[in-house]
Homo-oligomer: A and B are copies of this chain.
C-alpha cells in the first residue's frame, strides 16, 4: 500500500533524527567541554525544531488519512496497524503543540539541567528555583494541550501517558496504595528481624581503574558488548547514570565512587538491562515506530530485572564474588559470601532514591508521584517543594533532609522537564514481579543457571517474552500478553518477602 510506505519513509527520517539527537545529548553529558553549553542548547533546540517540523508535516496527516480510508486497510497486519496507530498518536499530539513551545522547552531544559548541576553542587535551592519554575510552566502549558488531545482526566495524566501509554494516575494511586502497605509491612519485619547486616566493608577503597574493569566484567556477564570489534555499546561516566542510543549503538553511563564501589556495579547492571532491551528489539523493525521499547515502565522492568532479580541474588554472587575478589586484589577476601550478599541487600530508609534498596525504593517514588500530582493540580507551588518534600520524607521514610541537594534537588528529571516519569520506576518493579513469576514457571531451575554465572537463559527468556514485542502493545496489554494477567502488585511483594525473609531470618 503506497501511503503506508510513504508514512514509513517519514517515520524513518524522524527516528534517524531522534537517534542523532540522542548522540548530541550523550555528548553534552559525557564529553562536551564546559564552555560548550550555550551552543549545545542552540543545537538541541534546532534539532527539536527540525524534528517538530518533520513530525507535524501535513503530508503525514494526509498519509494517515489515506491509509485509514484505504480499501485495503483491513489487509494490513497487526504490526502495520500498530505502526499507523503509533504514528497517528505522535502526529496528533505534536500538531497540537506550538513549535514555539517545543523549541523553548528544549532550550530551557538544557539550561535548567546545567543550572541544576551547579545548584546541586552549591546546595542552593534558590539558585535552581527560577530555572525549575520556567520548566514547570512550560510543561504545564504542554500538559494542558495534551490533556485535550488525549482526552485524559487530568493534565498530570496527560504527562504520565507520554511515558506509560494508557496508564492513569487513578490506577497508579490504587496500586501504589497497596504497594505502600506491603512495603511498610516488609520494612517493619526487617527492622525487628534477628539477622541484621553489617555493610561497613562496602566502603573499602577500590581504585577507579579497578572499578572500570569490574564494570566491563559486568557488561560481559549480561552480554552487553562494549569491548569487541563488533561492540554496539560503551560505558562512560556521568554524575547520574543513564542509557541512550538506538539498536547498534546503545550507550550507558555510570558513576564511580572510590569508597562505594557497589554503586557502579549496580548502575552498570541497571543501565545494561536497559541497553540489552534496546538491542534485543527485532532488528527488522529498525526505523519503524514499533521498533522501540513499549514504555518507560517496561524499560524499567528490564533494568531492574537485571540489577535486582539477577544482580542482587545470592546465586549470582556465589558465582561472581571470587571474581570480584580477584579483580580487586582481595579487598573483600576476609568477608563471607553470605555477609556480602546481605550487605548489598541491606534495607534502610534513606534520603537518596538512587541509593535506595528494593524495599524502600517504592516509597521514594510514591513521594514524587504525590508531589507531581499536587503540583499539576495547582494544589502545590514550585516554591513549596522543599518543605513538602522534607515533610514527606520524614513521614514515609522517617529521615530528616538536611539540605536540598540530598532532598528536592537530588534528581535531574524535573530540570529536564520529565514530570510524570517517576511512576514508571515503580511500575517497572511491579511489571518485573509479574514477569519473574511467569519466568519461574517456564524456567523452574533458572537459579541454577545464575549460580553458574550464566545469564543467557534469562536473556533469551526476556528476548522471547518481552524484547521481541517492541512497541507492539501498550504496557498493560503487553503484561497481559506476557503473563495472561492484569497489573498485579502481589508477585512483586511475594518476591520481596521471600527474598528478605531468607536474608533477615524473619
Contacts and interface: CB of A to CB of B under 8 A. Distances in A.
A33 B246 contact: no
Nearest to A26: B27
Given A27-B27, A248-B39, A249-B33, A46 B16 contact: yes
A17 interface: yes
Contacts of A286: 39
Interface in A17-34: 17, 19-20, 23-24, 27, 31-34
A231 B34 contact: yes
B233 A33 contact: yes
Interface in A218-233: 225-226, 229-233
A35 to B, nearest CB: 4
Given A39-B247, A40-B249, A248-B39, A20 B31 contact: no
B16 A43 contact: yes
Nearest to A17: B46
Interface in A263-291: 286-287
Work out how many copies of this chain go into the complex.
Answer: 2
Contact of A39 (B33, B35, B233, B249): B249
A56 to B, nearest CB: 15
B246 A35 contact: no
11 contacts: A17-B50, A19-B43, A20-B24, A23-B43, A31-B234, A33-B248, A33-B249, A35-B231, A39-B246, A39-B248, A39-B249
Given A36-B248, A36-B249, A42-B287, 12 more contacts: A16-B42, A20-B20, A20-B24, A20-B46, A23-B43, A24-B24, A32-B249, A33-B226, A33-B233, A33-B251, A34-B232, A39-B249
Interface of A: 13, 16-17, 19-20, 23-24, 27, 31-36, 38-40, 42-43, 46-47, 50, 225-226, 229-234, 246-249, 251, 286-287
